[in-house]
Structure 1
Amino acid sequence: MSNTTSDLHSRLLRLSEPIAEILRRTPQETTAKVSTKDILLSLLPNTSSPHLINEEERLASIKSLALACALLSSSRSSTHELLSWIPESLSIAGESAFREISRDYFSESPNSNGEKLEELVIELLPIVLPELKDTIEESSNSEAEDGSAAIARKPVEYAILAVHQLRWFVTQVEKPNLAKVCNLVVPCALTALDHWSPQVKGQGMISFVHLAKNVSSSDLGSYGDVVLDACYQNIASDDEIWIHVVVLSVLLVTKIHPNNPRSPWYEKIMNEMLGHVERQPRNKERRIAWLRFMEPLLNALGLFLLAHFRRIFPLFFQWMHSDDAETVLLVLERLETVVRLTWIRNSPVIPRLVEELVSLYKQSSMRKERDEIRALILRILMLLRESKGLQFESAWSQHKEDPNLSTVGEYIWSRSSSSEDLLRSES
C-alpha cells in the first residue's frame, strides 16, 4: 500500500463522517437488548481515534470500518429488527465507503474496482472470521451449562449481527478465490449452523450455499461429511429456515458425492426430508420449498428412487389436488422427473397414478392454469404409455369410454398430435 498512515487515517475519517452523521439522526426502535446503532458508531473511526502507526493498526482500523459497512449492507436483505431500521441511504453509504477503501488500499494495483474489493475482503478474512466465530459461540448454549455459565452468555443479538457480517464477507468472494479461504470460512459457518437460534442458523446456511456454489468438492476436503452431518441435523428446523436447509442439503450432497447414489448420505437426507414433510403435509411453504429445490437430488438418485416410492407417491397424490396452483404444477414437474428416471413399469403405483392424473385433468377445467396443468399431465401419461407397460393399458382401459377423455386417449395413442394442438382443440 502506497498511502501514508496519516493519509489513510484522514481518508477513513472522511468516509465515516457522513455515515456517522446519518446514524446519529436515524432512530432505532427495538425491543432488543443490543443496540445496533451503538455498535455501528463504535466501529467507525472518529477524530479521537489514535493515529495509525504500523500495518497491523492500519488493517485493524480498516477491519472495524469494514465490519460496520458489512452490517449496513446486510440490512438490504434482512427483515430482522436489529437491521430493518437502517435506511437505504445508510446501506448505500456503507457500500460506497468500502469500495473506496479497497481502491485506496490497492491504489497501485491495475485490477478493477470489483477485484480490489474482493482482494481486500480476502486480506481481512483471517482477522475477521475468528472474531465473528467467537462472537457466535459466546451466545450459544449447552444443555450441560450451569447457572453461572448461562448468566455469562452474551445476548443472542450479538450472534445475529455477527452472522450477518459473516454472510456479507463470504458473499463478497467468488470462484476461484473463495477456495483459497475455504478453511477459514467453514469452521465459522459451522459454528453458525450449530447455534440454537434459527436466525443464526439461517444466515450460516446462506453463507454455506454461496461457498458450495463457488468451490469444488475437493476444496471442501475433510469438511465435506462434517458439513453434510450439520445439514442432516438441521433438517427438522423452524419454518423460517426450512428453505435454506433444503437448498443447502441438496446442493452439498450432490456436489460432495456426485454420481454416487449409493452413498448413505443420499438415503439419510432423503428419508429425513420425507419424514419431515410427511409430518406436516399441509404446510404450504415447506412443501413448495421441497418440491422446488429437490430436482437435482431426484436426478442424482435415478433408479434408487424406487426405494422411496411408498413414501413419495402418497405425498404427490395428496398435493396434486391442492388449492394453490404452484404446488400442483411443482408436483407434476417432479412427478414427470420420477417417471422419466425410473420407468415405473411393474409398480403397483401405476393404477392409482393414472386415476389421480385423470381426476386432476378433469378438475383443472376451471383453473386459470388449466393449459399448464394439462400439458404436464399429458406428458406424464405419454411417458407411462411409452414404458410399454401392460399395467398402464389396463389402468387406462377404465377411462377409455369416458367422453370427457376421448381426445386425451387419441393423443396418448397417436404420436402425430402435440399436446398444444389438443389444448387448443379443447379451448
Structure 2
Amino acid sequence: MSNTTFDLHSRLLRISEPITEILKRTQYTPNESSKVSTKDILFSLLTNSSSSPSLINEESIKNLALACALLSSSRSSTHELLSWIPEYLSVAAVSTFCEISRDYFSDFPNSNAEKLEESVVNSEKIELLPIVLPELKERIEKSSIGKNSDEEDVSAAMARTPVGYAIIAAHQLRWFVTQVEKSNLAKFCNLVVPCALTALDHWSPEVKGQGMISLVHLAKNVTSGDLGLYGDVVLDACCQNIASDDEIWVHVVELSVLFVTKIHPNNPRSPWYEKIMNEMLGHLERQPRNKERRISWLKFIEPLLNALGLFLLAHFRRIFPLLFQWMHSDDAETVLLVLERLETIVRLTWIRNSPVIPRLVEELVSLYKESSMRKERDVIRPLILRILMLLRECKSLQFESAWSQYQEDPNLSTVSEYIWASSS
C-alpha cells in the first residue's frame, strides 16, 4: 500500500475505537458449556492502541471486517453466542463495515454509504471474500466429523475443537455472502459453494442452517451456468439433509426447491426431482402433525410443483393423503396453503383418470361446511369454489357423479348454483 503504515494504523484505530468502547461496556457472561467467549474473539479481532503500527497490514483490515461481520450477524440470530450483542452495537458494526468496504474492499456494495473522507489507501482495493472464506471454511472443518460417526465421535470432536468456533464462523460466512450484490456474486461461486457445503456437512444444525442460507442467497442471485458443476453436488447435500432438525427444515426445503428448479429447469424427468420429492414426502409422512414442517413445505414447494407438471401424477398416492389431513387443520395458514397448492396441482395435471376426484370433492365439501365457523371463511370459501370449478371443467362426468350426492344438500345450494351458473 502506498500510504504509511502509521496512517493506516491510525485510521483503523479511529474506525474500530467506538466499537471497542461499546464492547467494553456491554455485559456478557459466556456459557460455561460452550467453552467459547464471543467477546474475547471480538477483542482479538479489533485494532487497539497497544497494537504495534509495524504489524498493521491487510490482515488487520480483514480482522476488523470479521469483527464487524460477527457483530452484524447477531441481528438475525437467537443463538446464545450472539444473542447477548445489543442492537446498537450491531448497528455500529454495520456502519463501520460500510466505511471500510468503501475504502478497502472491491467486492462489497457501498452505494448506500455516506460521503466519507478520502481513503488513506490510494492503491487498488483488496477483494475480501478470497481472504476470509477459506479461513472460515477451515474453522468450520476443525469441529466436523465423518458422516457415519456416532455420538462418541461428536463428543471427541467437541473436546478437540469447541463447536462454538464453527457456529461463529458459519454466521460470519452467511453475513459476508448475503452482503455481496448480484452483479459481483457470480465470480465468487467457486469460493462460496465449497465453504457453504462444508457447513452443510457439519453435524451442528446451527452451522448447517447458516450454510443453507448462504446457498439460498447464492441460488437467487446467480445463473445455473455460474454454478457450473456444483449443482448436483449441492442437490446431493440437500438430499442428505432433508431429514434434518426442525429448526433448519425451512432452509433445506427452500434450498432444495431453488437448486433443482434452477439446475434442471426444463427437465422434470431428472432423477433429482423424484429423489427430492420422495425424500420430503417420506419425512412429512413420518411427522404429518408437525405444523412448522408442513407450513414450510407448503410455502416453498410451488416452483417444484410447476416444474414437475404432469409428472406430479406419479406422486398423487403420497401427496393427497397429506393434503387431505392438513386441510382440516386448526390453523388457517395451513388450510389456505393447502388449498392454494391443491389449485396448482389440479391446474397442472387436470387430475387425469384419477380415482382421487370423489375423495377430493368430499374433503372440499367438508371443509366448506367447517369453514362456516372460521373467521377466515371469506378467504377459504372462494378458494374452495375455484378448485371445484376447475374440477368441473377438467373432469365434468366424474365431477358430476361425485357431486350428485350433495345436489340436494340445502347447505350447499349456493355452491351448486355458482358451479352450474359459472359453467354455463
One fold, TM greater than 0.5? yes
Match of 2:180 in 1: 173
CA distance in 1, matches of 2:230, 2:302: 25
CA distance in 2, matches of 1:263, 1:254: 10
Match of 1:6 in 2: 6
Q: Is the 8 A contact 1:345 1:389 kept in 2?
A: no
One of 241, 255, 264 as aligned partner of 1:257: 264
Does 1:103 find its partner at 2:105? no
Q: Is the 8 A contact 2:145 2:154 kept in 1?
A: no
Q: Is the 8 A contact 2:102 2:113 kept in 1?
A: no
SS of 2:253's equivalent?
helix
- With over 3 angstroms needed to count, the CA separation of the structure-2 counterparts of 1:146 and 1:196, relative to structure 1, is closer
1:31-88 deviation per Cα after TM superposition (whole angstroms, max 9, x unaligned) = 22100000000000112212257xxx52211000000000110010000000000011
Match of 2:37 in 1: 35
Q: Is the 8 A contact 2:242 2:252 kept in 1?
A: yes
One of 294, 301, 315 as aligned partner of 1:294: 301
CA distance in 2, matches of 1:106, 1:6: 20
Match of 1:51 in 2: 53
Q: How far apart are residue 114 of structure 1 and its match?
A: 5.6
Q: TM-score, normalised by structure 1?
A: 0.91
Amino acid paired to 1:85: W
Identity rate of aligned residues, in percent? Answer: 83
- With over 3 angstroms needed to count, the CA separation of the structure-2 counterparts of 1:317 and 1:99, relative to structure 1, is same
Q: Is the 8 A contact 1:137 1:191 kept in 2?
A: yes
Match of 1:414 in 2: 421
**92-101 or 346-355, which deviates more:** 92-101
- With over 3 angstroms needed to count, the CA separation of the structure-2 counterparts of 1:199 and 1:163, relative to structure 1, is same
The 5-angstrom pairing of residues 4-403 of structure 1 reads 4-31=4-31, 32-52=34-54, 58-105=57-104, 112=111, 123-142=127-146, 143=149, 150=157, 153-403=160-410
SS of 2:406's equivalent?
coil
Amino acid paired to 1:395: A
**78-87 or 343-352, which deviates more:** 343-352
Amino acid paired to 2:35: K
Q: How far apart are residue 15 of structure 1 and its match?
A: 1.4
Amino acid paired to 1:399: Y
- With over 3 angstroms needed to count, the CA separation of the structure-2 counterparts of 1:122 and 1:232, relative to structure 1, is farther
- With over 3 angstroms needed to count, the CA separation of the structure-2 counterparts of 1:34 and 1:255, relative to structure 1, is same
- With over 3 angstroms needed to count, the CA separation of the structure-2 counterparts of 1:116 and 1:314, relative to structure 1, is farther
CA distance in 2, matches of 1:47, 1:382: 73
- With over 3 angstroms needed to count, the CA separation of the structure-2 counterparts of 1:364 and 1:338, relative to structure 1, is same
CA distance in 2, matches of 1:369, 1:148: 49
Q: How far apart are residue 106 of structure 1 and its match?
A: 7.0
Unaligned runs of 5+ in 2: 117-123
Q: TM-score, normalised by structure 2?
A: 0.92
Q: Is the 8 A contact 2:143 2:158 kept in 1?
A: no
Q: CA RMSD in A?
A: 2.4
SS of 1:271's equivalent?
helix
Unaligned runs of 5+ in 1: 418-427
Amino acid paired to 1:101: I
SS of 1:123's equivalent?
coil
- With over 3 angstroms needed to count, the CA separation of the structure-2 counterparts of 1:164 and 1:147, relative to structure 1, is closer
1:218-276 deviation per Cα after TM superposition (whole angstroms, max 9, x unaligned) = 11111110000001100000000000010000000000100110000000000000000
